[in-house]
Structure 1
Amino acid sequence: MVHGLDITLFRHGMTEANNRREYLGWTDSPLLQEEQEKWVEPDYDVVYCSDLPRCEKTAALLFPESTPIRMVDLREMNFGDWEGKTYQELVDEPSYQDFLAHPFEASPPNGESFSAFSTRVQRGWNHIVEDISERGIRRAAVMTHGGVIRYLLSKLAVEKKEFWEWNVPHSQGYQFTWDSNQSVRRGERCTSLQVVATTAKQNG
């Protein structure tokens, strides 16, 4: 079967901060050593990438022959004052309890609301779709973050699931397939969704 358009979303490799279960948005953290081992190298016509170092480093490992297109709009949510902190460090703060109870309405102090985050990600996605269409691309990769991928899965996956229902492990991809560029430009859900393994060992 000939596919009209494949776009695969990859989450960056696990970082030291991820391993410590810290909130990691616009700040950064080095990849764990085991994440820097040899990766399976898939072949794509174009690679788009969050401009944060953990994504750029992962993209360099996964696509060593490509020069990714860096995009600020593909960044993770900005967690503001909570960056680098864990649940245990935040659990007694009233603003954090409000966020846990109402994650789509409340926002981190000096951080980004879900509305602002989703608007930004949608803008970035629209740019990718238009660029792919104009250039006649058939296979594209996007290196980004867990929150970005969850948002796009909730909007575009075949199966309708809410944002937090999606599991997005590090170092893994989701391949979205549409029958045509016109389908994705209209914002239609994909016709097929497949998990793409990128390493021999997966970190969950």
Structure 2
Amino acid sequence: MNEMIIKRLSPSKSVEDLLIKKTSDLNWKYVDVLFSFKGIYTLGIKAFYPNKVSTVPNGTVLYPIENEVENRRQRLYSGAYLLNHFEEYQELNTLKELHEFIQVYETLGNLIPVWPGANSHRGVFGVYDLADLYFYDSKIEEFGRSFYNNFFTETSVYNFTRFCQQGSGIPYDIQDYLSMDREEYRRFLNHIVQVIQDRNNQFPSTNL
């Protein structure tokens, strides 16, 4: 299992690059991954090892705690940091639900066509890179709905159930994810896998 974790954390070809032939066949000019492994793995560290992670009140940046000292100079999300420390997270690394996510990670269902500039909007608007938040952020949703109403509506992220408070009318934000406990994180992984599998089922088998 550790080898699979290393592969997903190491600098290498992105899912977009690995599946470029398939997305080109679908005429997807601009493509983005729905669920980033590094981001999902980082949330898992926060859920399983809360005493090893810190953040400022209501903040979105996670910092590692090393030898009981918060390291504000190092972001937990860093690929280099995660590669150097992933062996400290063996309970997370062997999690069945994480393994199931890895199995579908490099499939077409984890990709989505996006509008020009969609990736840069994250930084410009300060939107967290998490599909359930990003595509429903008030600063992003207008772009998304305009684009998907005219392009590949059947594969739009908007067709799929969101993880938190679906249908309740209660807004939620990144803090709902940063505060997940182990059981909530497992349910979140199950949600992700289901979304990817549902999307895969919409594509002709020749594209998978």
- TM-score, normalised via structure 1 length: 0.30
The structure, 1 or 2, with the larger RCO (C-alpha pairs under 8 Å, 6+ apart) is 1
- Indicate the structure with greater strand content: 1
